Amino acid sequence: MDRRHEILLGATKSFTLFGYKATTIEQVAKIANVGKGTIYTFFKNKEELFQEVVFHLINEMKHETDRLIDTNASFMQNAHTALMKMLQFRERHLLFAKLIEEETALGTPEVQQMLLKIESEIISYVSMRIRNGIAKDEIIECNPEHVAFLLFKSYLAFIVDWQLTHNEPLNEQEILTLFSETLFRGLAKKK
Amino acid sequence: MDRRHEILLGATKSFTLFGYKATTIEQVAKIANVGKGTIYTFFKNKEELFQEVVFHLINEMKHETDRLIDTNASFMQNAHTALMKMLQFRERHLLFAKLIEEETALGTPEVQQMLLKIESEIISYVSMRIRNGIAKDEIIECNPEHVAFLLFKSYLAFIVDWQLTHNEPLNEQEILTLFSETLFRGLAKKK
DNA sequence: AAAATGACCAGAATACCACATCGGTCATCC
DNA sequence: GGATGACCGATGTGGTATTCTGGTCATTTT
């Protein structure tokens, strides 16, 4: 029974359920079935534990996406597939959703910082993909960082903000169609 | 000397400078050079005064845009012009900027509600313009509300969020180029 | 001996209460 | 009769007493 792993699992569960601030180390210890002190033999402090949890999730997402990208397929197809994957894994983003909620509701500084870090991770990943697309002459010349920022914020707008003003969340197909028909379509190089 | 107008002017100034909560009725009375009680002969309460101020600004923006729209020009040209106008008038949005700041910092319920109202006003205006474009066969078939939402949120992302992660704000030309080359380009019907 | 544990501590967060401030009214004044 | 500001009740603020929580470490367990 890997104690370190148990702790990570428990921490993920607790952060997802209660957010950063409301998660106590004692809580995590209880979920992971270890003593409080044990946590500190594997992680320097609460913040480091938090970082490990988040980066684990981000890496999972990146690898998942990498696995799906088909170098032979067109940029539009790949973008479509990747976006679909992200949408299907909304559940797994529950942690991120909780963090965004905590950020807007309480403004916890550690969470704020972490969200910026997550944003920058994702944007630089997407930028890289866009730069690839440009190099392969599949998408128009553009500023990759700007476009990545636009894509990221648009995605968030539909996943997070939409619910705030509309009672029904947009379903995956609608979001996918919208992105494909406007953003991806605008980016694709006309041949 | 139009007392009602003086009050509106003073209120606009104060809300822009201090936000909703930090603006006191006495403050507004002082700026407008009237007695406190006088405000209540023209406005039912603080919230109504706030609404009048905001709707006055929204209507100004709508008329400004209407004036610029050229029914003979293409959708892309009009979108470009309208966006440029909005960008040039960032200063006038100072009130909106202040409200967004107050919303994220304090979460004042009246402000939150008002921002939702502003959002819905703008989105329904943009939706209308998009529906026009579709009817005139200038832009692709799409869900006007979804696209309007996307445009609005993207605009805000670059005006408000960009500064949070990048020290230099994006200049107008860059935003304009980005929108034209991706979103507007994607929406335009290929002929 | 090495790893795990939970009682313990200091500092941060919360709850509470006395007090000040502000939105809104209304008797008075011009 | 419209404008005014002293006044009122309710809401918000600041300062303090108390609780809670992250992190340590002497003791226990394996």
Residue A191 has pLDDT above 60, yes or no: no
Report, as an integer, the average pLDDT of B99-124. 90
Report, as an integer, the average pLDDT of A92-107. 87
Residue with token string 């921490």: A11
Take residue B116 and report the two structure tokens written for it. Answer: 């939702």
Q: Which residues in chain B, range 10-69, keep a C-beta under 7 Å from any nucleic strand D atom?
A: 21, 29, 34-38, 40-41
Q: Please count the other Cβ atoms lying within 10 Å of the Cβ belonging to residue B5.
A: 11
Take residue A137 and report the two structure tokens written for it. Answer: 């002459």
Q: Nearest CA of chain A to the CA of B23: how many Å?
A: 23
Radius of gyration (Cα) for chain B, nearest Å? 19
Give the pLDDT confidence score for residue A189 in this predicted structure.
74
**At a CB cut-off of 8 Å and minimum separation 6, what does A79 contact?**
A179, A180, A184
Across the interface, of A105, A153, A164, the residue whose CB is closest to B157 is A153
Q: Please count the other Cβ atoms lying within 10 Å of the Cβ belonging to residue B60.
A: 12
Cα separation, B76 vs B145, in Å, equals: 18
Q: Within the 24-43 window of chain B, which residues sit less than 8 Å (CB to CB) from chain A?
A: none
Cα distance from N-terminal residue to C-terminal residue, chain B: 57
Domains of chain B: 1-43 (1.10.10.60), 46-187 (1.10.357.10)
- Tens digits of residue pLDDT in A117-166: 999 999 999 999 999 999 988 889 999 999 999 999 999 899 888 988 89
Give the pLDDT confidence score for residue B26 in this predicted structure.
94
Cα separation, B50 vs B25, in Å, equals: 11
Name the pLDDT band for A1 (thresholds 50, 70, 90). Answer: low
Taking the CA of residue A2 as centre, how many other CA atoms within 13 Å lie in the half-sphere pointing to its CB? 4
Report how many Cβ contacts below 8 Å link chain A to chain B: 81
Report, as an integer, the average pLDDT of A167-178. 89
